[in-house]
Structure 1
Amino acid sequence: MDPASPSDLPDNCSSCPPCPEALLSLAAGSVLSVLKCPPPPPTFFSSSLLLSSSSDPHLSSSPTEQQQPSLVHFLRNICVKAAVTELALIISLIYVNRLKKVLTTMARGDPDTPFKIILSALLVVKKFLEEDCVGLNRLFSKITNGLYTLRDINTMERSFLGLLKFSLFVTEEEVASFIQCHQKELHGLDILQYSKPRSACEFNVDP
């Protein structure tokens, strides 16, 4: 799936420029480090939502190496279609770090667990930052091209919020600290020019 054109987008979604590749790569690496997942079968990458022209699972030596290009590709498209800003993606990674801290070393996931984690984090942070949350779960289902149903999205959100115990508030200092810790990976990307994090939206799950 190529980055969306305006005609491809759901009615209540406007196109957003892709997040910088350095940030997408950092996000993919962060999510893949959360927990161990079994190697994905070759058919896992058959979806255009996951298939990157630079990814060839047969040439990769580890599950992480297999999934990294596809996860970056997935993130790029979701961020464009859901109008995810650099700041929102950074906050989602702070959530991912919080999730990693609450999971035990014995935690294991499915081949698509990293994709579910980042999708859940982006959904939650969109609700955290934006005034209009109505229909957001349905939108996220739609922009995955049927890969995840509305029920799947609802379940992911509940699980993610439950694991975080609704610990969602993020300060500007936390954002600045995260960026500072990842300056090398971000190549000096300036995130703090965007709006400050805030708590604004109730976390209702769409029916």
Structure 2
Amino acid sequence: LTALLYLIRLKELRPTCKGGYGSGHRLFLASLVLANKYLQDGAYHNKTWYKVIEGVYSLNEINQMERELLGLLGYKLCVTKADWLEFVR
């Protein structure tokens, strides 16, 4: 759910932003990577994500997606109780 909240937050921060072909998949993967790293002390390394998706994206692409989404979110990954309550309404 945290990954979905990141995508909602991105849409709120950049409502007119449009992506190209495959950008939805890239954003979802990047949001999963960020959520996993934010929530877990022993988070998966990007190399593990690369193996899980079986080469759909290169390790460099995954690293780049993560960096770009982090920048687009303004490095704000904290999800508060208020964020959760707003999400479930």
TM over 0.5: yes
Query: Per the alignment, in what secondary structure is the counterpart of residue 11 of structure 2?
Result: helix
Structure 1's consecutive aligned runs of 4 or more residues displaced over 4 angstroms after TM superposition are: none
Residue deviations 1:106-142 (CA, integer Å, cap 9, x gap): x321210000011000100000110113x52111111
- Report what 1:35 is aligned to: none
- 2:81 alignment partner in structure 1: 172
SS in 2 for 1:93: helix
Could you tell me which runs of 5 or more consecutive residues in structure 2 were left unpaired when the two chains were aligned.
none
In structure 1, distance between residues paired with 2:46 and 2:36: 10
TM-score, normalization by structure 1: 0.41
* Higher gyration radius (CA): 1
1:104–1:172: structure 2 CA closer, same or farther, 3 Å change rule? closer
Superposed, 1:107-186 pairs within 5 Å as 107-133=17-43, 136-180=45-89
Residue identity matched to 2:85: A
Determine the C-alpha separation between the residues in 2 that align with 1:125 and 1:136: 12
Residues matched between the structures, number = 89
CA distance, structure 1, for counterparts of residue 64 and residue 75 of structure 2: 15
1:103 aligned partner: 14
Give the number of the structure with larger relative contact order, counting CA–CA contacts within 8 Å between residues 6 or more apart: 2
Alignment of 1:188-199 (within 5 A): none
TM-score (structure 2 length as normaliser): 0.90
Alignment partners' CA distance in 2, 1:141 and 1:176: 33
Distance 1:177 1:102 in 2: 16
Q: Which runs of 5+ in 1 are unaligned?
A: 1-89, 181-207
Q: Which amino acid aligns with 1:126?
A: N
Q: Secondary structure at the match of 1:170?
A: coil
Task: After superposition, give the CA deviation of every residue in 1:23-72 in whole Å (9 maximum; x if it has no partner).
Answer: xxxxxxxxxxxxxxxxxxxxxxxxxxxxxxxxxxxxxxxxxxxxxxxxxx
1:141-189 Cα distance to aligned partner (Å, 9 max, x none)? 1111100111010000000000001111011231132122xxxxxxxxx
Q: Cα RMSD between the aligned structures? A: 1.4
Opposite residue 143 of structure 1, the aligned amino acid is V
Whose helix proportion is higher, 1 or 2?
2
The one-letter code of the counterpart of 1:118 is F
Name the amino acid aligned to 2:9. R
